[in-house]
Structure 1
Amino acid sequence: MFASKKRPRWAELPASVRGSIEGLLGGAVAYAESCAGGFSPGFASRLTLHGGHRAFVKAVDAHHWPIEASHHRAEADVAGRLPAGLPVPRLLDVCDDGRWVILAFEQVDGVAPGKPWTAPQIRRVVAQAVDFAQAATPSPIELPRDHPRLGGWAGLALDQPTSARLRTVSAWAPHPLGRLTALEREGLRAAQGDSLVHCDLYPHNVLVGDDRVVFVDWPHARLGAPVIDLVALLTGVAADGVDPEPYLLPVLPALNCSPASFDAILAAHTGFLMAGALAPMPIGLEAIAE
């Protein structure tokens, strides 16, 4: 698992921010457990009040982290409109004073999957992703139809210095770059749809509890083909050394996705990942092994 180097703890927040959080929650914080997972530099903790009420709170300083603050605001907009019944944490309240953006959610007991994966766990998480996709088709809320988190091969092909660096991270990818670019175009077309799509459904944005599986962190939500989330999820499974194909093929019909369309969307997804891997890491967002 990875953790942010810069994530502040409860005692490190300004007193005014701690006061705003306690105002949102309606009581004084007795205990704070910082959440190690993820890559955000912002505050992210499970908080317990003196009366026993629990909540998950994230907060970020927009003066220092404007892009991350925009993500918090986007998530507040999405989470605040999601209907009850979906496997997502309920947004309790928001505070945005122009500098600090604070989101309070219901506390969800659970852990990120993997570490290591088991076949029953993979089947359970995949089944929840499929059930969610079917429940969220058509999407219950309006969202943009663009897909900024898909695609990257075309840009690499046009950027000679970056495409030259591609050879340093992949001995294979530079050779079929033209084919990958064409397949990516097909994938961007196939990714269009009317489903509510998380668009960042990697394992670190999944919580597995005793009685439910919940999807967290919604700033990148879009309208699209429901299989997009399964692509990201199973990419995370594959990154941990597990062959995802036995878990993929049985569920593609339920998502109205042909193997050819899946391959094309996967090409667009890997293009996004490769372009990100070759881009400079933003200062402060470097991940470290826990």
Structure 2
Amino acid sequence: MGGRRPHRCARATSVSEALKKIAEGREAELFLLPDGRVLRLVRPGMPRAEERIRLEAAALAAAVEAGAPAPRVYETVVRDGRPGLIMERLEEPDLLTLLGRRPWLVLNIARRTAELHAELHRVDAPAALPRLKEWIRAHLEESDVVPEDLHREALSLLDELPDGDRLCHGDFHPGNIMVGGERPAVVDWTSATRGDPAGDVARTWVLLEASPVPPGAPALLRRLVGIGRGVLLHGYARAYLRRSMIDADRLSRWTQLRAIERLAQDVPGERERLLTLLGR
């Protein structure tokens, strides 16, 4: 990936420029630029969009400089009032799509996901990134959908769990790992923070356990993810724990906290599975 390249300040682009959309997720859309790079724009109405793009650029720069698997950022931009990043284009597929095509590779995909996650967690996070525990606390404070007893439990866990100083992705799962190029690369860094790696692993556990597949995914992939979710989840956890010093009790407490945090985010289609994960 090479060393860090400076990204320029935000500029406005012409609304008349026609761009081809090549991918999308819950938080952003990806467009192909004429020069072969890509433009990643946050979706309209995303809270704190400009701040999130600024922090995403900082996280990516730190990852690239450390040699971790992440794409280069060339500059920040604004288009139609939407903040975004101009980035290196990565080749498809992502690991989730690969799982849909070759479901018998589920354990291999789980292992590769764990290896890349452990590699990211060796990176010192930039001081500019928000602290993971402060990020979680903000989500809890902004929500009114968490039962009172779970809210109290989450605040207690925030007081008990360690802070940490590692680069935490915040949305790490096979759908955000591109594997079509010479080297895998991790995308979608809008939730990057500075904290305890166990908290980031717990976030991945919650996502793999509770999240539906992204919009636009083929029906076959949806069925396969439903069948193989548990195999993927436990294969990932075993592979990661073999490469780290995280103990099971610490990970369990972080998972409880991050499940409550995810409940606070009130993502459509997740509440029932999250409540089951929380023992409700």
Q: Aligned match of 1:108 in 90, 98, 111?
A: 90
| CA distance 1:230–1:253, change in 2 (3 Å) | same
- For structure 1, the residue ranges without an aligned partner over 5 or more in a row are 1-13, 20-28, 165-176, 280-290
Q: What CA distance in whole angstroms lies between the structure 2 residues aligned with 1:44 and 1:267?
A: 33
- What is the CA–CA distance in structure 1 between the aligned matches of 2:49 and 2:42, rounded to whole Å? 7
Q: What percent of counterpart residues are identical? A: 19
- Are residues 15 and 254 of structure 1, via their aligned partners in 2, closer, same or farther at CA, if it must alter by over 3 Å? closer
Q: TM-score, normalised by structure 2?
A: 0.66
Larger Cα-atom Rg: 1
Instruction: Give the corresponding residue for 1:8.
Output: none
**Residues 1:35 and 2:16 aligned together:** no
Cα pair distance change 1:209/1:181, threshold 3 Å: farther
Match of 1:25 in 2: none
Matched, 1:232 2:203: yes
Aligned AA (1:110): E
Shift of 1:103: 1.4
Could you give the per-residue CA deviations for residues 71-111 of structure 1, whole angstroms, max 9, x where no partner exists?
Answer: 22332343345443221110012234894434100001123
Matched, 1:147 2:133: yes
Q: What is the CA RMSD across the aligned residues, in angstroms? A: 3.9
Hey, what's the Cα distance between the residues in 1 that align with 2:249 and 2:177? 27
- What is the number of equivalent residue pairs in this alignment? 233
After superposition, residues 78-227 of structure 1 pair within 5 angstroms as 78-84=59-65, 85-96=67-78, 99-114=81-96, 115-116=99-100, 118-134=106-122, 136=123, 138-139=124-125, 142-150=128-136, 163=147, 177=149, 181-182=152-153, 185-186=156-157, 189-209=160-180, 211-227=182-198
Q: CA deviation at 1:202?
A: 3.5
> Residues 152 and 268 of structure 1 are in contact (CA less than 8 Å); yes or no, is this contact kept in structure 2?
no
The question of whether the paired residues in 2 share the 8 Å contact of 1:82 and 1:141 is answered with no
Deviation larger for 227-236 or 145-154? 145-154
Distance 1:221 1:129 in 2: 13
Deviation track 1:195-231 (CA, whole Å, cap 9, x = no partner) reads 1111222444332335432211222222111123322
| Counterparts of 1:223 and 1:207, CA distance in 2 | 23
Task: Tell me how far apart the structure 2 counterparts of residues 234 and 247 of structure 1 sit (CA, whole Å).
Answer: 9
The alpha-carbon distance between structure 1 residues 151 and 129, as it changes in their structure 2 partners (threshold 3 A), is: same
Q: Which has the higher helix share?
A: 2
Work out whether 1:265 is the aligned partner of 2:254. yes
Question: Paired residue for 1:252, among 215, 238, 241?
Answer: 241
| 1:254 CA drift (Å) | 3.4
How far the C-alpha of 1:57 sits from its partner, in A, is: 0.4
- Distance across 2 between alignment mates of 1:278 and 1:97: 26
Assess if the C-alpha contact under 8 Å between 1:187 and 1:264 holds in 2: no
Instruction: Point out where structure 2 has 5 or more consecutive residues left out of the alignment.
Output: 1-11, 211-224, 269-280
Give me the TM-score of the superposition, normalised by structure 1: 0.64
Residues of 1 paired with 2:184 and 2:83: CA distance? 27
- What residue number does 2:38 align with? 56
Q: In the alignment, which residue of structure 2 is the partner of 1:284?
A: none
Q: In the TM superposition, what is the alpha-carbon distance from 1:188 to its structure 2 partner?
A: 5.7
